[in-house]
């Protein structure tokens, strides 16, 4: 084990109504990958933001190579070799790759102009060290998410960072892109860099990390070597109990009543004659790779995107012109894949977020009935077990899992006939996932029709009553979850096989 390059001793941090960190100790060794795991709200990101200089601790101290430091800003931390890569990248879309890597630190000529050949040369050298090929003259806006992540890593190296923190880096990449990320992390490790890797995905921890620190409710549970423990132990430390991987039981057969029907729904180059039905009380899973058209189907159902042709029928009535406003009135709820931008108003309270979808029920003329709104918010918070000091708490301070429950509660308040869930468990931990699965199954058992879109194949197989697989904008077929395997679903998702479809029947 290498020397401790960083030590954090007795770190505490409070926010309004929340003790985020309670006397946490943490240390990381030089040339190692150290994971930080825990449920949403455990304090992982807060601890790292303190090390990165974004937050000041209320108590405790930070030591680098045995010497105590107090960082008042991220720039101060960067000067001492500490860099952080957030899940939401900190890049300027309209600038080029090379300009982003050296933003604010561009090499200059004598007259103060940017030395562009030198800028490109230095940026190229960094990307070559990472084994990455990216056109340095491209705008960042024209890059894929995985390439943008590589630009962030190159930017961290340009700052001569010895400690690189990655906050949920796998949330935006998968498959070969994730393998590429792991390869780069191993290269950085071989070059003596210390990687602090925040993730809720237990499989990744055992693939990439040397040690893991587990936090729960803002407190240190333990720090262990990944070679001396197993996944079940880590999960038990995270959630404080044994957590079965089983999903709630499926329905025995689908519902009788057809709630939603799509017939030959088409949008140029995006959706191709998409047809299927959804029945009351069932969870219809839609699988497929990124770009397959799953989210576009969800947006079409909700009326957020226009169609070129085809028809959508809800409860036997054809939807003539779809719009989100009309969809809400008709009883369609839509939990989007990006809760941070599309699902919540972060500056508003839990109560106000929960009632955004039913303002007509809580106001008279232009005045909101606070008493009625509070009653609805309180009941909803209790129903969905939303952990918050108060329903008046700003929703930004809730954990990811509790934020997701607020979004779900917002749509349940409209008494939906159908609920479309796009990546409902993305970015939430194993404990919160279990709660979300239970809530979904309870809603379905109560008669709500649910469409669940997910990139996690075990989730699709475990939760769905029926499974549709999409590829390149079309339905490749339907698979029974009792017969489905991850390999089989993936074969269809890559276009290599077709399953049963209505047309074939």
CB 386 within 8 A of CB 402: yes
Q: What is the DSSP letter of 88?
A: S
User: Model confidence over 454-477: pLDDT tens digits?
Assistant: 988 888 999 999 999 999 999 999
Residue 269: phi and psi, rounded to 5, are: 65, 5
State the pLDDT at residue 359.
85
CA distance 99 to 319: 48
State the pLDDT at residue 255.
57
CA distance 322 to 81: 52
State the pLDDT at residue 1.
45
Q: Identify the CATH assignment for 4-239 out of 3.40.50.720, 3.30.420.40, 3.40.50.300, 3.30.365.10.
A: 3.40.50.300
Domain spans, the chain? 4-239, 244-331+450-505
For residue 175, pLDDT beyond 80 = no
Residue 439: phi and psi, rounded to 5, are: -65, -45
Helix (H, G, I), strand (E, B) or coil at 416: coil
Cα torsion 169, 172, 175, 177: sign: negative
Question: What superfamily does domain 244-331+450-505 belong to in CATH?
Answer: P-loop containing nucleotide triphosphate hydrolases (3.40.50.300)
State the pLDDT at residue 420.
96
State the pLDDT at residue 243.
47
State the pLDDT at residue 55.
93
Between 146 and 302, where is the model more confident?
302
Residues linked to residue 342 through DSSP beta bridges, in sequence order: none
The residues, ordered by sequence, that sit 6+ positions from 81 with a Cβ below 8 Å of its Cβ are 64, 159, 160, 161, 162, 163
User: Model confidence over 102-132: pLDDT tens digits?
Assistant: 888 888 887 778 888 898 999 998 888 888 8
Instruction: Supply the mean pLDDT for the chain.
Output: 87
Helix (H, G, I), strand (E, B) or coil at 270: coil
User: Model confidence over 134-150: pLDDT tens digits?
Assistant: 888 889 888 887 788 88
State the pLDDT at residue 503.
38
CB 149 within 8 A of CB 181: yes
What's the rounded mean pLDDT across residues 354-364? 86
User: Model confidence over 65-100: pLDDT tens digits?
Assistant: 999 999 999 999 999 999 998 877 788 989 999 999
For residue 2, pLDDT beyond 60 = no
Select from 53, 61, 100, 49 the least CA-distant residue to 78. 53
pLDDT tier, 16 (very low <50, low <70, confident <90, very high otherwise): confident
Between 45 and 251, where is the model more confident?
45
Residues linked to residue 452 through DSSP beta bridges, in sequence order: 285, 421
* Domains 4-239 and 244-331+450-505 agree in fold: yes
Locus of tokens 């058209």: 293
Select from 181, 233, 237 the least CA-distant residue to 204. 181
CA distance 321 to 180: 44
The residues, ordered by sequence, that sit 6+ positions from 144 with a Cβ below 8 Å of its Cβ are none
State the pLDDT at residue 45.
87
User: Model confidence over 199-227: pLDDT tens digits?
Assistant: 877 888 999 999 999 998 899 999 999 99
Q: Element (H or E) spanning 4, and its range?
A: strand 4-15
CA distances to 62, 253, 302, 311, 501 from 262, in Å:
58, 21, 12, 6, 14
Lay out the sheet containing 18-29: strands in order across.
18-29, 4-15, 59-64, 67-69
For residue 167, pLDDT beyond 90 = no
């Amino acid at each position: 084990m290498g020397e401790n390059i960083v030590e954090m001793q007795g770190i505490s941090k409070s926010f309004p109504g929340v003790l985020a960190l309670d006397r946490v100790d943490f240390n990381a060794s030089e040339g190692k990958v150290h994971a930080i795991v825990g449920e949403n709200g455990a304090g992982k990101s807060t601890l790292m933001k303190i090390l990165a200089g974004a937050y000041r601790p209320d108590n405790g101290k930070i030591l680098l190579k045995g010497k105590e430091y107090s960082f008042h800003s991220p720039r101060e931390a960067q000067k001492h070799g500490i860099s952080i890569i957030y899940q939401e990248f900190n890049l300027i879309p309209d600038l080029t790759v090379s300009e982003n890597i050296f933003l604010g630190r561009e090499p200059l000529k004598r007259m103060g102009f940017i030395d562009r050949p030198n800028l490109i040369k230095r940026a190229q050298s960094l990307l070559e060290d990472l084994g990455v090929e990216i056109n340095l003259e491209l705008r960042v806006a024209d890059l894929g998410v995985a390439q943008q992540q590589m630009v962030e890593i190159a930017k961290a190296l340009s700052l001569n960072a010895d400690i690189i923190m990655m906050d949920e880096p796998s949330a935006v990449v998968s498959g070969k892109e994730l393998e590429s990320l792991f390869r780069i992390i191993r290269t950085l490790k071989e070059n003596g860099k210390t990687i602090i890797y925040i993730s809720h995905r237990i499989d990744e921890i055992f693939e990439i990390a040397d040690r893991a620190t587990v936090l729960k409710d803002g407190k240190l549970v333990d720090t262990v070597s990944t070679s001396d423990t197993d996944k079940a132990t880590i999960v038990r430390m995270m959630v404080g109990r044994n957590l079965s991987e089983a999903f709630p039981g499926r329905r025995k057969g689908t519902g009788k009543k057809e709630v939603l029907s799509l017939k030959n729904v088409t949008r140029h180059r995006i959706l191709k004659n998409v047809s299927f039905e959804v029945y009351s009380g069932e969870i219809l899973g839609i699988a497929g790779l990124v770009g397959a058209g799953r989210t576009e189907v969800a947006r079409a159902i909700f009326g957020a995107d226009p169609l070129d042709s085809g028809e959508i029928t809800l409860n036997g009535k054809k939807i003539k012109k779809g719009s989100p406003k009309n969809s809400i009135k008709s009883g369609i709820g839509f939990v989007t894949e990006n809760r941070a931008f599309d699902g919540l108003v972060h500056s508003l309270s839990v109560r106000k977020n929960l009632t955004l979808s039913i303002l007509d029920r809580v106001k008279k003329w232009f005045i909101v009935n606070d008493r009625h709104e509070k009653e609805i918010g309180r009941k909803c918070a209790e129903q969905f077990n939303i952990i918050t000091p108060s329903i008046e708490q700003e929703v930004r301070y809730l954990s990811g899992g509790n934020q997701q429950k607020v979004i779900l509660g917002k749509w349940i308040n409209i008494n939906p006939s159908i609920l479309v869930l796009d990546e409902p468990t993305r970015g939430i931990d194993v404990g919160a996932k279990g709660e979300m699965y239970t809530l979904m199954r309870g809603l379905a058992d109560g008669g709500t029709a649910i469409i669940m879109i997910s990139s996690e194949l075990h989730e699709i197989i475990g939760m769905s009553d029926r499974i549709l697989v999409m590829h390149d904008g079309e339905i490749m077929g339907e698979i029974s979850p009792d017969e489905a395997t991850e390999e089989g679903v993936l074969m269809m998702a890559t276009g290599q096989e077709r399953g049963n479809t209505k047309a074939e029947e």
